[in-house]
Amino acid sequence: MSDDQSREQHEGQTSPGHQQHGQDCHCRDGQSETEERQPEGGKPKPKPTDCECDANAIDIHLCKSEGLARQADFVKKQQTDVDNAVMSHAKVRKEYPSKRHELLPQVREVTEQLERMQERIKCAMPKDATAEDLDRAFETVLRELDNCAPTQASCSVENCDFDLEVEVLELVGMRRKLAEFEAKMATYHKCLLELLNETANLTTRLADSNAAVKTLAEAMAADPDAAKIRQLYLEARVAERGVANIWGGFTSASEYIDKLCRTLNCWLASVDAAATLTGHVGVLECRERAEAEQCRAVADNIVGETLMRYEKDRAAGVRQVGEGTQTKRDASDDVAMY
C-alpha cells in the first residue's frame, strides 16, 4: 500500500458518530449567526452573533483527529510487510512456473522409481500377509487422519469480505470486531508466507521423495525378513503420498498463481479493514475519555456550573421576549430587569 493510498484512505474515513460540522454553534429559531429574520418587504438586518457554542464539537474534532492518527500509525506499522509481500508476489509469479517446468522430468522419474520399488516389495511379501490387507489398514488410518483436519489451520481464502458498516457499534462491539479482523489478518498473512515459499518447497519435497526411494532401495538390498517387508510396504505407501504432494496440491502453475493472488488480495483487504476499525476504536476511546473528563470537571465545580446554567437560562428567556415570543417570567426576572 503506497503512502498516497494511505492518505486517500485516511481522507475518506468518517469516524462513527462524527459527522462533518459546518459550524459549532446552534443559533436560535434556525437563524444564521449574522442576520435576523427578514421583515416583510425589507432586507435582512445584520445582528451580532447570538448563539451558544457546542463544547462537545471541540471533542468531536479532537477525537476524530486521534482516530485518524491511530489509523495512520497502524498502516505505517504494516507498510514494510505490505511492501515485501507485493515485491515477493511479483518475483514468485515469474519464478514458480519456470521451476515447476524444470522439476517436471525429475518428478516423473522419482514417481516411476517408487512404482518399481513397490512392485519389488509386493513380490517379496510373505505368504501370511497380503498387500490388500495392509492397504485396508493403511486407508483406515488415513481416514482417521482426515478427521483431524478440522482442528488444523486452514488457508482457505474463498470469502474475505469485511463488513465495515459498524457505525452503530459501541466501543465494546467495535473492539470485538477489530479483534476479529486482526485474527483474519494474521491467518491470511500466515497463508501468504507459506504460498510465497512454494517455489523453494518444490525442491525440498522432491529431495525428500528421492531420499525416501533411496532408503527403500537400500533396505531391500539388505535382504529384509517378513516383518521388515510389511513395514517397507507401508513406508512405500507413505512415500507415495509424499511424491503425490510434490506439487503442493496444485495441478498447474496457473492454479497456484491464482491462489497466491487471491491470498495476497485478501490479506491486503484485511489490513485495510483493521486499519479502518483501529481509527474507529481510537475515536470512541477518545470520546469515552472526554465524557469522563467532562463529568469530573462538572463534579469538581458544581456551583460554578450551576450558576452558568442559571445565567444562560435567564438570558434565553429575555431574548425570547425581545423577539416577540410570550415567555413566562418569574418575579426574580422582573426584578433583575429594572
Query: What whole-number distance in Å separates Cα of residue 329 and Cα of residue 77?
Result: 61
Lowest mean pLDDT among 49-53, 130-134, 265-269, 303-307: 49-53
Query: What whole-number distance in Å separates Cα of residue 215 and Cα of residue 230?
Result: 15
| pLDDT > 70 in the chain, percent | 76
Rounded to an integer, the average pLDDT of 80-94 is 96
Give the cell for residue 238.
507413505
Query: What whole-number distance in Å separates Cα of residue 283 and Cα of residue 159?
Result: 29
For 162, residues 6+ apart whose C-beta sits below 8 A from its C-beta are 181, 184, 269, 270, 272, 273
**Predicted pLDDT of residue 158:** 67
The model's pLDDT over 148-160, given as tens digits with 9 standing for 90+, comes to 765 444 577 767 8
Lowest mean pLDDT among 75-84, 96-105, 200-209, 285-294: 285-294
Rounded to an integer, the average pLDDT of 261-285 is 94
Rounded to an integer, the average pLDDT of 283-311 is 91
Domain boundaries, the chain: 57-146+168-294
